[in-house]
């Protein structure tokens, strides 16, 4: 949408939320190709009529250059001419002025005096037409004890609630729609793809990842308990990783609420513009995390638009080892790990993949921003190694599994990942090295998993 149209919607947001019935707009915006059915369902689930109207206006700003004209047309079709005229006039007033056909007002300020201070002028706005000159109305100052006589303007303007004279919009308030939760009640909830690379080919010059099967088994059981359809693929080459991700993107996810991808492999640091890092196939070449997330974006997987897409990466972000820093004794955590600790590191490389293909650009302009509704959780900070115990599995997966078991019934995902960050940061490899997980979070709502049945051993 053009910036001037965005500004018009933003200035008139209160008027639109107050006067718009979203249920009257859905069919028109759907038939005109502005929204998909999934996006309309997402707006419907946002709450009350006002909440839906607020969400509809916000989403319209992301729907391309035809969204504004389509909105005007839909308003006209439903007889909401005053709202249509208000937007076309481009002013945040609550009702349109009576104008001759095809003539728009020119706004001119008139100096008047406030009854509170006769020495300081304030401004009121009155409309005049292009062919008219500005009429200066005779104003007699009044003392504070007198009432203020209204100006004989052609039409009395009702100020927008957001711009009423003498009042300021409250700041720092928590909007109800900003703390909503994603719909997560489908059964099954969605697909979960786990790619577990353990045995690497000799030409890859990468060691086998002993202990990764322990991670894989834990996560398979965990996400089945969270009501996901879990598919495990083992020892995939780079091309096969892409094929599996492509197959996942081509599935129809319309009846599901979420999608999860888990990568267990060696990793490396690559150049990027959104999501850092890459994971290796067992043959050696890597697939950037940016490319992995692109498979499920709005352009490549329309049935996941507006739905959470979660990526868990157990792989090194690079080859640097973190020795930590000194803390006070009460902050010092236990020394965990020993001779069985290994890393999933590979020296930094440059990716041969395009990190932002032209096909992503229309999606970013025509719908929600490309990374929206995506969360990528990394086992380690970009550039650093990730530690894995050959007998107990990786620090990150073991901690993630425990946190999900203990807290998924009560806490949202982002809160639980913060718990994972804290617990892993307390570990120590070989009594020296540390690890710090983290996330790139582009979720728009809280996400609570389903917890329905106990894990089967």
Among 296, 418, 403, residue whose Cα is nearest residue 360? 296
Closest CA to 197 of 228, 238, 230, 231: 238
Contact 192, 223 (CB under 8 A): yes
- Using alpha carbons only, give the angle 234, 223, 178 rounded to the nearest 5 degrees: 125
Backbone angles phi, psi at 454, to 5 degrees: -70, 155
pLDDT tens for 180-238 read 899 999 999 999 999 999 999 999 999 898 889 999 999 999 999 999 999 999 999 99
Q: Indicate where the chain has its CATH 3.40.50.1460 domain(s).
A: 190-441
Q: What is the mean pLDDT of residues 326-349?
A: 44
Q: Given this model, what pLDDT does residue 177 score?
A: 45
Q: What is the pLDDT of residue 431?
A: 53
- Which secondary structure element, helix H or strand E, spans residue 438, and what is its range? strand 438-441
Q: CATH 1.10.533.10 in the chain: give the residue spans.
A: 3-89
> Quick check: bond before 70 cis, omega within 30?
no
Q: What is the pLDDT of residue 132?
A: 46
DSSP letter, residue 302: G
What is the pLDDT at residue 12? 84
Class of the 190-441 domain? alpha beta
Closest CA to 291 of 347, 239, 219: 239
Give pLDDT tens digits for 92-105.
444 444 444 444 44
CA 441 to chain centroid, in Å, comes to 7
Instruction: Name the band, by pLDDT with cuts 50, 70 and 90, for residue 82.
Output: confident
Statement: residue 355 has pLDDT above 90: no
Burial pattern 435-447, b for ≥16 Cβ within 10 A else e, equals: bebbbbebbbbbb
The yes-or-no verdict on residue 358 having pLDDT over 50 is no
What is the per-residue pLDDT for 152?
46
What's the pLDDT at 354?
30
Higher-pLDDT residue of 346, 372: 372
Residue with tokens 């720092």: 172
For residue 238, the 8-state DSSP code is H
Instruction: Specify the CATH number for 3-89; select among 3.40.50.150, 1.10.533.10, 3.40.50.360, 3.40.228.10.
Output: 1.10.533.10
Give 9-48 pLDDT, tens digit per residue: 888 888 888 888 888 889 989 888 898 887 888 888 777 8
- The tens digit of pLDDT for each residue in 229-265 reads 999 999 999 999 999 999 999 999 999 999 999 999 9
Q: What is the tens place of the pLDDT at every residue in 103-127?
A: 444 555 555 544 444 444 444 444 4
What is the rounded distance in angstroms from the CA atom of residue 229 to the CA atom of residue 223? 8
Strand segments, DSSP code E, in 94-189 are: 106-113, 121-128
Identify each DSSP E strand in 225-327 by its residue range: 228-234, 258-264, 267-268, 278-280, 286-288, 309-314
Active-site residues: which are they? 266, 316
Mean pLDDT of all residues in the chain? 74
Q: What is the CA radius of gyration of the chain?
A: 29
In angstroms, rounded to a whole number, what is the distance separating the alpha carbons of residues 237 and 256? 29
How far apart CA 20 and CA 22 sit, in angstroms, is: 6
pLDDT-based confidence at residue 142 (cuts at 50, 70, 90): very low
Encoded tokens for 106: 């020119």
pLDDT of residue 435: 73
Q: Is the CA virtual torsion 311, 312, 314, 318 positive or negative?
A: positive
Give residue 260's pLDDT: 98
pLDDT number for residue 164: 35
What does the alpha-carbon distance between residue 197 and residue 208 come to, in Å, rounded to a whole number? 8
Higher pLDDT pick, 197 / 455: 197
Q: Give pLDDT, residue 298.
A: 80
* Proportion of the chain above pLDDT 90, given as a percent: 33
Residue 78: pLDDT over 50 = yes
Over residues 1-6, mean pLDDT: 83
How do the residues of the chain divide into helix, strand and coil, expressed in percent and rounded to 5?
30, 15, 50
Which is more confident, 367 or 300? 300
| pTM for the whole structure | 0.54
- Give tens-digit pLDDT for 283-331: 999 999 999 999 998 888 999 999 999 999 988 644 443 333 334 444 4
The residue whose two tokens read 């319309």 is 254
10 Å CB burial of residue 85 (0-12, 13-18, 19+) is middle
- CB within 8 A of 85, min separation 6: which ones? 96
Q: What pLDDT, on a 0 to 100 scale, did the predictor assign at position 11?
A: 83
Compare 342 and 427 and report the one with higher pLDDT. Answer: 427
Residue with the larger pLDDT of the pair 332 and 41 = 41
395: pLDDT confidence band, cut at 50, 70 and 90?
confident
| Structural element, H or E, at residue 73 | helix 67-77
| Ramachandran class of 422: left when φ > 0, alpha when ψ lies in -120 to 50, beta otherwise | alpha
pLDDT number for residue 412: 95
Q: Is the model more confident about 352 or about 300? A: 300
What's the confidence (pLDDT) of residue 335? Answer: 42
- The pLDDT value given to residue 441: 93
């Amino acid at each position: 949408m053009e910036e001037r149209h965005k500004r018009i919607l933003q200035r008139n947001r209160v008027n639109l939320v107050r006067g718009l019935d979203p249920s009257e707009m859905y069919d028109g915006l759907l038939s005109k190709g502005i929204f998909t059915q999934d996006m309309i369902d997402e707006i419907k689930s946002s709450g009350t009529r006002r909440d839906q109207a607020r969400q509809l206006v916000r989403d319209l700003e992301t729907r391309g250059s035809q969204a504004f004209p389509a909105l005007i047309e839909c308003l006209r079709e439903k007889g909401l001419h005053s709202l249509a005229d208000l937007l076309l006039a481009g002013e945040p007033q609550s009702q349109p002025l009576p104008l001759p056909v095809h003539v728009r007002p020119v706004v001119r300020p008139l100096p008047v005096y406030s009854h509170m201070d006769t020495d300081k002028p304030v401004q009121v706005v009155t409309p005049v037409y292009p062919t008219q000159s500005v009429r200066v109305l005779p104003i007699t100052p009044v003392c504070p004890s007198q009432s203020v006589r209204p100006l004989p303007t052609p039409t009395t303007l009702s100020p927008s609630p957001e711009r009423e004279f003498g009042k300021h919009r409250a700041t720092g308030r928590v909007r109800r729609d900003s703390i909503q939760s994603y719909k997560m009640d489908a059964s099954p909830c969605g697909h979960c793809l786990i790619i577990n690379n353990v045995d690497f080919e000799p030409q890859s010059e990468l060691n086998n990842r002993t202990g990764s099967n322990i991670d894989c088994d834990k996560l398979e059981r965990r996400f089945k308990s969270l009501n996901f359809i879990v598919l495990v693929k083992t020892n995939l080459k780079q091309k096969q990783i892409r094929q599996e991700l492509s197959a996942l993107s081509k599935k129809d996810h319309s009846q599901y609420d979420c999608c999860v991808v888990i990568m267990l492999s060696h990793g490396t640091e690559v150049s990027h513009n959104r999501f850092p890092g890459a994971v290796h196939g067992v043959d050696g070449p890597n697939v950037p995390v940016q490319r992995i997330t692109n498979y499920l974006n709005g352009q490549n997987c329309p049935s996941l638009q507006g739905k959470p897409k979660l990526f868990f990466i157990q792989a090194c972000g690079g080859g640097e080892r973190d020795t930590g820093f000194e803390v006070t004794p009460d902050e010092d955590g236990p020394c965990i790990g020993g001779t069985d600790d290994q890393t999933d590191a590979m020296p930094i490389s440059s990716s041969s993949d395009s990190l932002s293909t032209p096909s992503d650009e229309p999606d970013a302009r025509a719908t929600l921003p490309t990374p929206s509704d995506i969360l990528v959780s990394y086992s380690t900070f970009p550039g650093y190694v990730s530690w894995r115990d050959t007998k107990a599995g990786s620090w990150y997966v073991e901690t993630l599994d425990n946190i999900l078991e203990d807290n998924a019934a009560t806490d949202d995902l982002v809160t639980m990942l913060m718990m994972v960050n804290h617990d892993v940061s307390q570990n120590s490899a070989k009594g020296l090295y540390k690890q710090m997980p983290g996330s790139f979070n582009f979720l728009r709502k809280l996400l609570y998993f389903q917890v329905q049945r106990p894990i089967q051993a």
